[in-house]
Structure formats: C-alpha cells, structure tokens
Amino acid sequence: MSSTELPETRTAAAPTTSRTRAVRVADGEELRSVALPGLTLTVRARPGNLPGLPPALYVHGLGGSSQNWSALMPLLADLVDGEAVDLPGFGDSPPPDDGNYSVTGHARAVIRFLDAAGRGPVHLVGNSMGGAVATRVAAVRPDLVRTLTLVSPALPELRVQRTAWPTALLAVPGVASFFAKLTKDWTAEQRVKGVLSLCYGDPGQVTEEGFRHAVEEMERRLELPYFWDAMALSSRGIVDAYTLGGQHGLWRQAERVLAPTLLVYGLRDRLVSYRMARRAAAAFRGSRLLTLPEAGHVAMMEYPETVAQAVRELIADDGGS
C-alpha cells in the first residue's frame, strides 16, 4: 500500500544544499527546483548517456523520495533521459499551497510538471502510491505516457494484508500526531530498521553505507515541520482512492490505460499483496508481468538489474523511443 524512505543498495555521496540538512545526490545525478503556481517540485535528473534519448519520469511511493530511484536510473541511462520527481511534501519538495495530498492531487502535480517541461510522452515508472499516481496520469492524459511501469502499485484491495494496517491507520484523523508523540524517543536507526523489515524482502542486502545514508535522510525528514502531515494526508488520499468507484476508480482507470504496461510484483511484499498481480495483469490491456520471488515492496531497489532488463524489453518492444 505504501513505500517509505529507504536506502539504495548502491550508494555514492555527493551532497548538495537543502532547506535543512543536505540531501544526498549520487554520482551522475543533478537536483533542481521547478516552481509552478502554488507548487514547487524538486527533480532529480540522471541525464542520458547520449543526446536525444527519450525522456523517462520516475514517481516514488508514500514516505519515499526521488532517491528511491538512484539504483535503477543509471542502469537505464543509455536508453532514456531520466528524471525522478519528489512529490509535494516528500523528499526535498515543500507542501503544495492547496494542501491537496490526494492521489489525484499528486497526479495533477505530475501532469503540471510534464506539461510545463514539455517532456511528454515519457516512459513513466511508479512505485506503490507512485504507481497509483502513474496509473491515473496514464488514464487521463494518455498523450503524456509512452510506456508505463508499475512496481507494487497501490491499487485497491478488498483484503489488505495485516502488515499494511499501520500505514492505513495513518489516514485516521489524529493517529499520525498520536504516533509521532508515541515514538518521539525512537532513534532514526530504530525507525529505519522498521522500514527495512516492512519494505525489503531481505533487509540484510542493504549495505552498511546504505543504512547510514538512510538514517541520515530519516533524521533530515523528521526535522521538517510538515513530515507527519504529508504522511497522514497522503495515506488518507490512498484510502480515499481505494474507496472511490465509478469512472474515477483506479481499477476502472487501469482498464483505460493505452500505454504498454509492465507490472512488477514481489512475492515477499508485505504492503501490496501478490494476489493483486493477476487482477492487475487482467486490468491493464496487453500488460506483461514480472514476478520476483525474493523481492519485497521496492523491487527497483532490491533487484535493480532485473527490473532494468524488464523495462528495456518493454521499451524495445514499443519501438525503443
């Protein structure tokens, strides 16, 4: 149902300036701020190795950031000109002026960014909540999406796994502030270990350096005054999207997606049940499914080479541009 701020299994530090502590930037990456009316987005670019490559946009999940794509982007740099966006209120992007953290609000932010940049159609890649956002973008603006890759997308489930209940509870008014007070004495290390156990199929694959960088990022995020609001309101947005029916329901919108679609699911995912893979494969017309037996919720960070190869095949079958 969600993803959280996690370390890459491959790391390279090249810090830049942020509003609080420094945000880490991997080798070959660039950060920039994009100002739109009522909205400011931080974008992490991994330029293609060759000029004229088609654009790609990566969208993270709940509690995550553009850093979640730092392991995957360089593996596709010879194929696409990649950018990863920090959704409003996450990563290094400030909250939206209208306070709209719904799936539709996040999708609107992505659409506004793509329209302003004139980069569409893009190869769109989303994880968890970002998968729901990407689905909505592809359904309502097919002109902006060339191919669609969804890693453990947060699409409505009738029976949510028990391990996903705490995330869903954040949507209940007052729970986030209560949890913040309850866990005020928790160290960043304790929080990161909890995140890893929830989101990785095998937390032991994270390097010591990766864990240290994740702790530093957790400390930075906890200093932001809007951290818990962004988490709680985005969680509420996911729950609302799960209950929305009719033409605006996510499953109905999945059926409207025209772009060639790759679905990636991990058998060890504790947040999005693998049983949803079959329904997703049926909903997205002509889709292909990649199943990773050892992966958890963030396959693009756990097995980036395997995911990258599947994306390559998707793009190649679409004509490679």
Q: What is the pLDDT of residue 318?
A: 84
Closest CA to 128 of 174, 73, 90: 90
Determine, yes or no, domain membership for 261.
yes
Q: What is the pLDDT of residue 162?
A: 54
Q: In the chain, how long is the greatest CA-to-CA distance?
A: 53
> How many residues make up the chain in this entry?
321
Identify whether the C-beta of residue 146 lies closer than 8 Å to the C-beta of residue 311.
no
Could you give the CA distance from residue 48 to residue 160 in angstroms, rounded to a whole number?
39
The pTM score is 0.89
Determine, yes or no, domain membership for 17.
no
Determine, yes or no, domain membership for 130.
yes
Pairing state between β 288-292 and 122-127:
unpaired
Identify whether the C-beta of residue 308 lies closer than 8 Å to the C-beta of residue 75.
yes
Tokens describing residue 257:
């997606």
Determine, yes or no, domain membership for 10.
no
Q: What is the pLDDT of residue 175?
A: 41
Determine, yes or no, domain membership for 255.
yes
321 residues of the chain, pLDDT tens digit each: 444 444 433 333 333 333 446 788 989 999 999 999 999 999 999 999 999 999 999 999 999 999 999 999 999 999 999 999 999 999 999 999 999 999 999 999 999 999 999 988 999 999 999 999 999 999 999 999 999 999 999 999 866 555 544 554 444 454 445 445 556 667 889 889 988 988 999 999 999 999 999 999 999 998 999 998 999 899 889 988 888 777 789 999 999 999 999 999 999 999 999 999 999 999 999 999 999 999 999 999 999 999 999 999 999 998 766
Domain range holding 184?
Answer: 30-317
Structural domains counted in the chain? 1
Pairing state between β 30-36 and 39-46:
antiparallel
State the CATH number of the domain containing residue 260. Answer: 3.40.50.1820
Determine, yes or no, domain membership for 12.
no
Residues whose CB falls within 8 Å of the CB of residue 214, separated by 6 or more in sequence, listed in order: 5, 6, 7, 192, 195, 196, 206
Q: What is the pLDDT of residue 30?
A: 95
* Sign of the Cα pseudo-torsion (254, 255, 259, 264, in order): positive
Q: What is the pLDDT of residue 157?
A: 81
Determine, yes or no, domain membership for 16.
no
Determine, yes or no, domain membership for 4.
no
* Sign of the Cα pseudo-torsion (45, 59, 6, 35, in order): positive
